[in-house]
Amino acid sequence: MIVYRHLPLSLFILFLCTSGCKGPEPAAVTPFPNTTSLDTLQKAAVNLARSHALRNPNIAEHRGKYAYALSVHGAHTAAAQEFSAAKLLDPRTPLWAYRHARSIIEAGDTKNGIPDLESIVAEFPAYLPARHYLATAYHDHGESDKAWQLILNCLAQTPSSFPLQTSKAEILLDSGLHREALEILKTITNIDKKTPYPYRLLGEVYLLEGNAVPEQVENILKNASPSERTIVLDPKEKEFLQQKTGRDYQIRIIGNNIRGRNFPAAEKIATSLLSAFPQDPSVRALTAQCYHSSGRSVEAQKILEDTPSEFMNDNTKLLWVDILVREAEDLQAQGANSSATRKIRKAMINAKEVVENSSADWKSHFVLGKCHALLGDNASARGSLRTAIELNDEHIPLSFKLFEVSTQLNDRETAKFALDSVLKVDPENLIGNIQRGLLAVSVGDPKLAKQCLERATKVDPEHQGVSVLRTRIRTIDQ
């Protein structure tokens, strides 16, 4: 201590602060979780984030990113440890404290997690993610009054937030106020077509109210499953949450892209997924579907041909049939009839197998009907297509195919039935109205023909078919 006796007091204090008053050190980086539930992609994502954390253990963002990688793949206890380290390194950022408390709750410890969240909300009263998640935690814990008041306070801060509006609707729904919830959910789903959770709640409202067609409710719930709540995001979270991956998760993303007709995005993800799971039958079938939808039918067929027959389910066989049928149609258009016939016979074998296995599947009857039509057996095609349309009378291409086959057989009744099915689904369908009008002219029904002409004219007055129908009507009026 003699050395420091002659130092000015201010320098002595500075020396003590810089040399002996360091902040608490974070715990060592959490080991990789000992679990077999993670697949190849998930393990790779977690390992990558952990390697960055090991190289930079005293940087909050690296510890936080590793924590997110653990959290999004279900390792909530390990995630809580890493979020705690990030919180220690960067106490001014509410994100780490919020996610630490949230991970505790997600690990099943609400007794400690909820008070932690309450402390964070008290310290950072304007921090919406923590307040929103606390409201949902209250709701799940049976404290709906607290949840309701907190959601209203959050909405006062950000009234247009769909995640907050969805939580408001959920509380109303669980409180028995179905109609109030319905109005909110209809508004959300009319604008946001991509987030599944509001659709799930909407389906539940329809089930409880009993005021929707069961098939529609079933489709809503099917498209919304699986789903989870969307909590208001911290701006930093979007990057961290992109670490979520895995076979099942990627399959859902591909399915969403296919339904949204975003085939390039679906194809890109499917190609990577196939590289990770080259022997997985579901992945192979889905990748083939993506390739086929993107016009890469040859590659799609190669994937299916290399898939062992015992792993070919009915949907996979139908996809293969569809590929063969399209190739056969192209070959017929080029005049290569013998090659087309070989492909159609191969397609028909698969189509018949699917019909035998799934007689209630309209798609199997549809593709079998197309096979019969390509082989020139229009009578058999009509039978298969009629069965398909009885199982699903809302598929317009199916109805037009039945009309085409019936016309070749000079079967006006079935042709009328097919066109009426088109117009039932789409009353303004241009070709449907033109063909139905021409059919009405042929049986001497000018009144119906004029109605069809009027609808077709509104859609496209310059269409050649509209001109033909107008001329035919004038002929029978004379």
**Mean pLDDT over residues 295-308, rounded?**
86
Q: What is the mean pLDDT of the chain?
A: 88
Domain coordinates in residue numbering, the chain:
37-125, 139-231, 246-312, 334-420, 427-478
List of E strands, 77-197: none
Say if residue 21's pLDDT is above 60: no
CATH number for 139-231: choose from 1.25.40.10, 3.30.420.40, 1.20.1250.20, 1.10.287.110: 1.25.40.10
Give pLDDT, residue 301: 86
**Mean pLDDT over residues 376-395, rounded?**
93
Going by CATH, does the domain composed of 246-312 fall within 1.20.1290.10? no
Cα torsion 342, 347, 353, 355: sign: negative
Give pLDDT, residue 309: 76
**Mean pLDDT over residues 382-409, rounded?**
94
Contact 325, 297 (CB under 8 A): no
CATH number of the domain at 37-125, please?
Answer: 1.25.40.10
pLDDT in tens, 169-218: 999 999 999 999 999 999 998 898 888 899 889 888 888 877 665 666 66
Which residues fall within 8 angstroms of residue 41, CB to CB, at 6 or more apart? 245, 246, 247, 250, 273, 276
Structure tokens at 282: 């579901």
The CATH superfamily label for domain 334-420 reads: Tetratricopeptide repeat domain (1.25.40.10)
Give pLDDT, residue 60: 95
Say if residue 1's pLDDT is above 70: no
Give pLDDT, residue 213: 58
Give pLDDT, residue 19: 47
Top-confidence residue, 334 or 426: 426
**Mean pLDDT over residues 447-465, rounded?**
93
Say if residue 478's pLDDT is above 70: no
Residue 81's SS3 state is helix
Contact 49, 68 (CB under 8 A): yes
Cα 406 vs. chain centroid, distance in angstroms? 37
Same fold, 246-312 and 334-420: yes
Burial (CB < 10 A; 0-12, 13-18, 19+), residue 16, is exposed
Give pLDDT, residue 463: 94
Structure confidence at residue 22 as a pLDDT band (50, 70, 90)? low
Structure tokens at 369: 């009907």
pLDDT in tens, 74-100: 899 999 999 999 999 999 999 999 999
Give pLDDT, residue 10: 54
